[in-house]
Structure formats: C-alpha cells, structure tokens
Structure 1
Amino acid sequence: MKEIKLSKSVRAHGDELYVLELREPTGKDVRELGFPYTASGDAGVKMDAGVIAKYISRLAGVPPSSVDEMQPSDLNTISWEIVGFFLGSSTLDNS
C-alpha cells in the first residue's frame, strides 16, 4: 500500500479523505483497465488521464466522483505513483 496525502480533501462514502491508500494493481486490473500510459519512441511516457482515473478509483476504493474532485496537483502526484507500479521506481528516478 502506498499512502498519498492530498493537498485538499475529497469526499468518499460520506467521509472527508485527506489521505488515499493505493493498493498495488493486479493482473486482473490491467486486463480490465489496460495500461495507464503509452511509451513513445524517444523513451518517453504519455499518461492516459482517463485510465489513470479508473485506477485511482479502483486502487484507492473511492468512487469516480471523488477522483473528479481532486486538485490537479494531487492527480499528478497520484498518476506518477500509479505509473510507478508499472515502470518501477528506478525508471522514474532516471527520467
């Protein structure tokens, strides 16, 4: 589990959340949601915001409406955490 502190709380299941806990994705998650990024020819990564939003909802156990409330900076932070599950931290550290 990865904990991510939010800069602004979001509502989920009737509660105010200030921290999201992300579980690691499984093969089933990938099969159902796809990869949250595409690789470009220059070793770059283009994140797919729509797929990432689905991963946030699923991995953190919050409804899509909670993801819609998030600050852009929080979405960016969480997006890199999710992509990190797939690429490994050493890949992200070198970019």
Structure 2
Amino acid sequence: MTIEGQEEMSNENQEKKAPPKQFLRDGKVVIRLDVPIVAHDKQVEELVLRKPTSAEARAVGVLPYRLNDSNTPDINVPAACQYISKCAAIPPSSVDQLDVSDLNAVCWAVVSFFLSPGSPTSGS
C-alpha cells in the first residue's frame, strides 16, 4: 500500500469515530459500558444516571469524593458505588459487576453532579 493509500484509510478512520462514552439524554448522564453487566435479570449496555437528591446524600452519609492536598477531588469509591446504585436504579450486586474502566467513568460522572452547581435534582 502506498503512503497515499494509508492517508486515505487514516482519514476514513477519523470520520468513523466511535460514539462518545458519556453523553446527556433528557437531563441525565448516559454512560456506554465497555463491558455489559446484568441488572434486574437484563443485560445492561449503558447506565443512565440521574442527579442524586439531598435526601440520598444524607442517607449515604458522605460525598462521593474527598478533596486532596491539592484541593482536587479524589473518588471515594465505596460512597460513589452507593450513589451509582441509587442514581442508576441498579442493585449493588450489579455495580460490583462493572469493569474497572467503566467503574472509573461512572464514579467521575457521579462526582460531577456534586461539583456542578445549579442543575435540577430528580426531586424538583
């Protein structure tokens, strides 16, 4: 194959970009999972997260992150997993099935709800 042919293939690959892993739909965060999980006896290929309510935050008892010495957030994974279960309406056993790369993406999505001011909660 010539260099020109390689450039054409490269341009074609750039045009066929994969869909985003995370996007908004109806005010909720949707995350496409790299590895599907099972929840409520159904295969789940994407999680739809709504913003947690203040009552849910009070019930969990801690935020899904801590501020480190640099004043940047570090994920509190056990707390974030509780929020994932509540906000995606899946059982904790399904949260436990998440691939670590998916878990990381979903945890950061949960943290973003707490760091983004002014968006409506699911109870409003």
Aligned partner of 1:88 in structure 2 is 116
User: In structure 1, what is the Cα distance between the partners aligned to 2:108 and 2:74?
Assistant: 11
Instruction: State the distance in 2 between where 1:41 and 1:73 align.
Output: 25
Whether 1:20 and 2:18 are equivalent positions in the alignment is no
Q: Report the secondary structure of 2:114's partner residue.
A: helix
Which AA in structure 2 matches 1:18?
E
Equivalents in 2 of 1:67, 1:24: separation in Å?
Answer: 17
Q: Which residue of 1 aligns with 2:69?
A: 41
Cross-structure match for 2:101: 73
Letter of the 2:46 partner, please give it.
V
Q: Which has the higher contact order (CA 8 A, sep 6+)?
A: 1
Secondary structure (helix, strand or coil) at the match of 1:3 reads strand
Task: Report the Cα distance in structure 2 between the residues aligned to 1:70 and 1:22, rounded to whole angstroms.
Answer: 14
User: How many positions carry a matched residue from both structures?
Assistant: 89
Correspondences of 1:45-56 after superposition (within 5 Å): 45-56=73-84
TM-score (norm 1): 0.88
Q: Matched residues, percent identical? A: 35
Flag as ranges the 4+ runs of structure 1 deviating above 6 A.
Answer: none
Amino acid at match of 2:45: Y
Aligned equivalents of 2:70 and 2:52: distance in 1?
26
Pair 1:29 & 2:56 matched: yes
The Cα of 1:62 is off from its aligned counterpart by: 0.4
**What CA distance in whole angstroms lies between the structure 2 residues aligned with 1:53 and 1:27?**
17
Q: Deviations over 1:39-59 (max 9, x none)?
A: 123212121110011111110
- Paired with 2:69 and 2:46, the residues of 1 have a C-alpha distance of 35
| Aligned Cα root-mean-square deviation (Å) | 1.3
Determine the C-alpha separation between the residues in 1 that align with 2:37 and 2:69: 37
- The unaligned stretches of length 5 or more in structure 1 are 90-95
